[in-house]
Amino acid sequence: MAGNNPSSSEYIRHHLQNLTFGNHPEHGWSMAHNAQEATDMGFWAIHLDTMGWSIGLGLIFLFVFRKVAKTATTGVPSGLQNFVELMVEFVDQSVRETFHGRSRLIAPLSLTIFCWIFLMNVMDLIPVDWLPGVAAKVGEMFGADPAHVFFKVVPSTDINATLGMSLSVFALIIFYSIRVKGLKGFVAELTLHPFNTPNKLAQIALIPVNFLLEFVTLIAKPISLALRLFGNMYAGELIFILISLVGIWQLPLHFPWAVFHILVITLQAFIFMMLTIVYLSMASEDH
């Protein structure tokens, strides 16, 4: 931001910029002072705010569920135990209805995905200026220019975070496909479908076409997972930022959008979880 009264475009750009640390071609290892410097860092850069919030929220999820597991009682349960049991039963039922293979990993993975993404998404309900304002004050205490202190608190609005999660799911898809079908079966699935014929020469001729179609279908899974979550959450955050520009009138506008956004953040976590279960179920089926 420039000065104490940034323009609307400067205000929006500031809130959409991540706190980036990386190896700049000219400045070496340093914090990025603007979007261009962050871009110049290329691959050797990390979004500290995304990593910090995503890891921190993941630890909160582990702490709460572990605490409930250790203190669970068969008597009158606490409100927190009721909530955790409800979440576990909901995810377990979803897995039983959707996953057709046998794996001890799928249910815990699905529970982790749903709760972790929900916690990351729910950060979008915090007013956009609160935590970045605190970060700017802390940075100023250490001699940093507040205009160069960027702080995004919603990890799922960072394409790097959503793509990282989707690539992890993609790795599991490949693992289960090879584990269940074998390497030969996995390669055959990519090259002998969807067009199949008993004529050997025709089948060989169709291998490039089959591979192209199946490869596009396979690679579209992680890309669609990442872009769907990122796009919905990024758009929601942008609307909150635009609402904050109207000044004193932002509260009457902020509340109804926040209520509606509760449905969005829950639905996006649920969709990511369900598609993960579906994709892993498909990978575990031997045709």
Q: Which residues are catalytic?
A: 224, 228, 232
- The tokens for 149 are 């202190």
Residue 194: asked if its preceding bond is cis (omega within 30°), the reply is: yes
- Note the residue count of the chain: 287
SS3 (DSSP) at 12: helix
For residue 121, give both structure tokens.
């998404």
What is 191-238 written as a DSSP string?
Answer: HS-SS--S-HHHHHHHHHHHHHHHHHHHHHHHHHHHHHHHHHHHHHHH
Q: Distance between CA 234 and CA 240 in Å, rounded?
A: 10
Query: Cα(11)–Cα(1) distance, rounded to whole angstroms?
Result: 6
Distance from C-alpha of 130 to C-alpha of 85, rounded to nearest angstrom:
33
Strand, helix or coil at 89? helix
CA 72 to chain centre: 30
Q: Which residue has the tokens 């293979």?
A: 101
From the list 32, 287, 276, the residue with the least C-alpha distance to 171 is: 276
Residue 145 one-letter amino acid: D
